[in-house]
C-alpha cells in the first residue's frame, strides 16, 4: 500500500537532490536545471496531496493539479528568460561559471 508519506518522502528526496545541485554545480545552466528539479519535486507533492487530502464526501476538486498547471507555465516562462540571460552572459563575458560573475556580491 502506497501512502501519502511515500510520495512526500520521494518528493523530499528529489527536492534535496535539486538543492545539492544548486549548491554544488558552478555552470549556470546546470544550476537552472537543478531549480527545475526542485519545482518538479514540488509538483509531485502537490498532486499527491490533491489525491490524499481530498474531502471525504462530495465531488473532489482537482485544485492541486490546477496549481501544477500554473507551476509548469511559470517554470516555462522563467526558463526562457533565464536561458537568454545565460546566453548573454556567455556572449559578453565568455563564461557560464557563476563564480566568475560575482560583481554584485558583497
Partner 1 sequence: MEALVFWIAAAAMVGFTLLTIAARNPVYSACFMILSFAATAALFVLLDAYLIAAVEVLVYAGAIMVLFLFVIMLVNLRESEHEGLRLNPLMVLAAGTFLALMSRAVKDLGSAVQEAPNALVGTPGTLADTLFSRYAVPFEAVSGLLLAAILGTVVLARRKEDA
Q: Which is nearer to partner 1, 14 or 101 (CB)?
A: 14
Q: Which is nearer to partner 1, 54 or 101 (CB)?
A: 54
Q: Site size for partner 1, by CB under 8 A?
A: 73
- Give the x-and-dash track for 67-96 against partner 1 (CB under 8 A): -xxx-xxxxxxxxxx-xxxxxx-x-----x
Query: Interaction with partner 1 in 27-46: which residues (CB under 8 A)?
Result: 27, 29-30, 32-34, 36-37, 40, 43-44
Using alpha carbons, list the distances in angstroms from residue 90 to 25, 36, 65: 17, 21, 37
Taking each helix axis from N to C terminus, what angle separates 28-52 and 63-93, rounded to the nearest 10 degrees? 180
CB of residue 39 vs partner 1: minimum separation in angstroms? 9
Backbone angles phi, psi at 18, to 5 degrees: -65, -40
Task: Give the total residue count for the chain.
Answer: 106
Q: Whose grid coordinates read 522563467?
A: 78
Amino acid at each position: 500500500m502506497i501512502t501519502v508519506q511515500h510520495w512526500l518522502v520521494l518528493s523530499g528526496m528529489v527536492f534535496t537532490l535539486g538543492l545539492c545541485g544548486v549548491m554544488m554545480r558552478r555552470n549556470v545552466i546546470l544550476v537552472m536545471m537543478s531549480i527545475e528539479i526542485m519545482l518538479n519535486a514540488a509538483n509531485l507533492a502537490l498532486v499527491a496531496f490533491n489525491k490524499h487530502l481530498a474531502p471525504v464526501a462530495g465531488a473532489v476538486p482537482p485544485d492541486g493539479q490546477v496549481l501544477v498547471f500554473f507551476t509548469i507555465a511559470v517554470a516555462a516562462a522563467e526558463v526562457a528568460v533565464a536561458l537568454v540571460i545565460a546566453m548573454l552572459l556567455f556572449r559578453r563575458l565568455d563564461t557560464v561559471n557563476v563564480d566568475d560573475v560575482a560583481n554584485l556580491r558583497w
